[in-house]
Structure 1
Amino acid sequence: MQSLELLTREARALAEGEIVITAPEAEVARQMTVCNACRYCEGFCAVFPAMTRRLEFGKADVHFLANLCHNCGACLHACQYAPPHEFAINVPQAMAKVRGQTYADYAWPPALGALYKRNGLTLGLALVLAFSAFLGLMLATRGALWGVGGSFHELFQHGLLVSLFGPVFAFVVLALGMGARNFWRNVTPATSGQPASAPAIAEATHDVLRLKYLDGGHGQGCNNEDDAYTLWRRRFHHFTFYGFMLCFAATSVATIYHYFFGWVAPHELPSLPKLLGVAGGVSLCIGTAGLWQLRRRRHPRQGDVAQKPMDLGFIALLFLTSASGLALWLGRGTPALALLLCLHLGAVMALFVTLPYGKFAHAVYRGAALLRHAVEKRQPNPIGLGAD
């Protein structure tokens, strides 16, 4: 009944011109209609059980399903209606195009949504060079760009770093939080409308942390450049995700040390911030290097080619951040300390600035979609067909 009411409201909004269905959204709706009649891939991932709960696919449904898709590619290689068949079913590519659109649609502030189309590899590297050069110029005016020993806090005072990175970090959290709120508000009525329960939150968290749906639905992994399965995409995602979290944990612990215990950086082994930071940096380097190779070799039909620069830009910034951080630690007693510090801080600043309008958004929206799926599957199937 609730789904019927939603469709009625959406039909009325369409008639009044309030909702505009884009070509990529219409294509996903078309393909899901065909898939709903076939259902061969029903057990592959969360997309297809969610699909079977619907007879029609409105804008909110399409946005929900697109962000639920992990782009593993299994359904494309299993589909009897894939190109060159006249039905031309390519779910990963169709979902990827809509997914990229949703990043811009739900961006906050809305005017900055267009940055998703410009946030590519060239922009990322240019920002790293620009920020690094600016910081280097600051040190050069003090004659401290080369050959100055000591710690990096002697080069850039703690208060200065907080004033530079604090506002940017606060804006990143606000922008991503507002985007997630906009997405949640839109897809909640289309996914039962029920609030998230503790069991649903626990299941979604489990699926996020395990990257459950990057196993191709059969445990053999994803497809990359051909029909062969590989688990390396899942493994490199794990290296990247947990490497990022370890680095974030290292920064958080160091902040607690500074403000609550008066233990001022730099911290050396075997301190907890250093253990977390080194482990996270190495993990990030491994994960991003692997994802770079896989992304460059991936078959064009597996996703949206237009988003490749954004993907590679995000991977490159993560790699430069982690690699420069490790280089800074290894070069802490050398004359190159100041240059390495400028490079690292430039990479971190570039990553932060682009974070709300780059590929990082997929983690936010995908997590929200998985939670809505965990909520929806606990409700009675409105059409009485299919399985969760």
Structure 2
Amino acid sequence: MRCDDASAMWDQARRALEICNACQFCDGYCALFGALKARRDLSLVDLAFLSNLCHNCRACHHACQYAPPHAFQLNLPRSLSRVRHGTYQDHAWPRPLGRLFQKNERFVLAVTLIAVAACLALGMLWVPREALLGVGAEPKAFYRVVPWGVIAGSAGVTAGWSLLAIGMAVRSYWRSLGPVPGGARWLPALRDALRDAVTLRNLGGGAGCSDRDERLSRARRRFHHAMAYGVAACFAATAVATVFDHALGWAAPYPLLSAPVLLGTLGGVGILVGTAGLAWLKRGADPEPLAPELAGADLALLAQLFLVSASGLALLAVRETAAMGPLLLVHLGSVLGFFATLPYGKFLHGPFRVAALLRAALERHAADR
């Protein structure tokens, strides 16, 4: 982003928030407005903090008396979306990789497709045909196609790098917010922040989001929950399968009614429902409060998660056929692509938002004392 574009972006967000602070009609809509009231002179640090408190439910936009066609042309969700996306780029680790947030959908989809194509190509070159297209669901059938060490090693290295990069990015963002207010109580604040994150309390408050127009709906929160808890269930399935394999000596694939398969199926269905539902809502959303240049990054993450889930469920359905080997390679490639792009895509909004919620909770508790 050019310097003049960045400066205009920050100035636009500051102007919008100053008008909101004077009006305060939306006070109580979400954590953003409570934190805003404690600030009069908005610095760049304040803007970076407040933008990540915004959950982009758009309710404030449809309630705003200064939104277009008013002469003020106030569009708070759009302004904060741009600032929020800028914080991901500013705090990316390593710093030069922050450029990947520009035209982000191209990067995310390209890495995913390359990972899938590479796994398929390497499988066809190195895996014997009888193993790749073999039929059977006996123990260790997966490992005849791809050895366990290759699966665990490639996924472990990719996920480990991503977790390190995410941790460093969040650390940089947290430190940029300055010292924690004196008198803040960490444990109650952490409890409040995690509760807000898990329940998505700020995603439209109790009434819901303005998904398509000024009417409120809980659909976005429900689809978001389905997707998020689906991802959690899939990670739980992987953890249980690891215990089965290493502690109990039970090799995959597992029976349909086993804990790893049940958790994975539940999680996969949740991801499919959540991502498809969120994409459907985005397609019919009111474009006015959205930043059109950021829509691709949102949809790229949804498409990526949909591919991971769909390939996993398809693998479960055909694991006793000759399609098992190729689909295992497709699923492995999609998972590796997902892991590789975690620190440099829309997924980063999750940890950044939790950090902002924690900071807001610390400020509230310090003010109470």
Task: Indicate the TM-score class for this superposition, using the shorter chain for normalisation.
Answer: over 0.9
> What TM-score, normalized by structure 1, do the two folds share?
0.88
Structure 1 match to 2:24: 39
1:356 has 2:356 as partner: no
Q: Aligned AA for 2:197?
A: V
Comparing 236-245 with 141-150, which one deviates more in the overlay? 141-150
C-alpha distance in 2, partners of 1:248/1:22? Answer: 41
Shift in Å, 1:176: 0.3
Comparing 193-202 with 325-334, which one deviates more in the overlay? 193-202
What's the CA shift string for 1:334-357, capped at 9, x where partnerless? 111112112111111111111110
C-alpha distance in 2, partners of 1:134/1:73? Answer: 41
Given candidates 67, 71, 82, the residue that maps to 2:52 is 67
1:165 has 2:149 as partner: no
The residue matched to 2:288 in structure 1 has which SS?
A: helix
CA contact (8 A) 1:50 1:373 kept: yes
C-alpha distance in 2, partners of 1:256/1:206? Answer: 29
Q: Aligned ranges for residues 1-388 of structure 1 at < 5 Å?
A: 22-120=7-105, 122-141=106-125, 142-144=128-130, 147-150=133-136, 151-189=141-179, 192=181, 197-214=186-203, 216-217=204-205, 219-380=206-367
C-alpha distance in 2, partners of 1:184/1:166? Answer: 26
Unaligned runs of 5+ in 2: none
C-alpha distance in 1, partners of 2:152/2:160? Answer: 11
What's the CA shift string for 1:206-249, capped at 9, x where partnerless? 111100011x23x2211122222221111000001100111111
The residue matched to 1:56 in structure 2 has which SS?
A: coil
Identity, in percent, stands at 43
Shift in Å, 1:196: 5.4
C-alpha distance in 2, partners of 1:129/1:66? Answer: 32
Shift in Å, 1:253: 1.8
Distance change (3 Å), C-alpha of 1:327 and 1:84: same
What's the CA shift string for 1:257-313, capped at 9, x where partnerless? 223332222222322211111110010000000011112222222222111111111
CA contact (8 A) 2:133 2:326 kept: no
What's the CA shift string for 1:118-147, capped at 9, x where partnerless? 320x44444333222222222323325863
- Paired residues, what number? 359
Q: Aligned AA for 1:270?
A: L
Unaligned runs of 5+ in 1: 1-19, 383-388
C-alpha distance in 1, partners of 2:367/2:191? Answer: 20
What's the CA shift string for 1:98-157, capped at 9, x where partnerless? 00000000110000011011320x444443332222222223233258631232211000
Q: Aligned AA for 1:299?
A: D
Distance change (3 Å), C-alpha of 1:188 and 1:146: same
Shift in Å, 1:74: 0.7
Q: Aligned AA for 1:199?
A: P
C-alpha distance in 1, partners of 2:245/2:132? Answer: 27
What's the CA shift string for 1:10-52, capped at 9, x where partnerless? xxxxxxxxxx973222221111111111100001111111100
CA contact (8 A) 1:236 1:286 kept: yes
> What TM-score, normalized by structure 2, do the two folds share?
0.92
Q: Aligned AA for 2:88?
A: Y
C-alpha distance in 2, partners of 1:333/1:146? Answer: 12
Comparing 269-278 with 352-361, which one deviates more in the overlay? 269-278
CA contact (8 A) 2:184 2:366 kept: no
Shift in Å, 1:358: 0.5
Distance change (3 Å), C-alpha of 1:196 and 1:180: farther
C-alpha distance in 1, partners of 2:227/2:178? Answer: 30
Distance change (3 Å), C-alpha of 1:220 and 1:275: same
Q: Aligned AA for 1:76?
A: H
CA contact (8 A) 2:100 2:107 kept: no
Q: Aligned AA for 2:228?
A: F
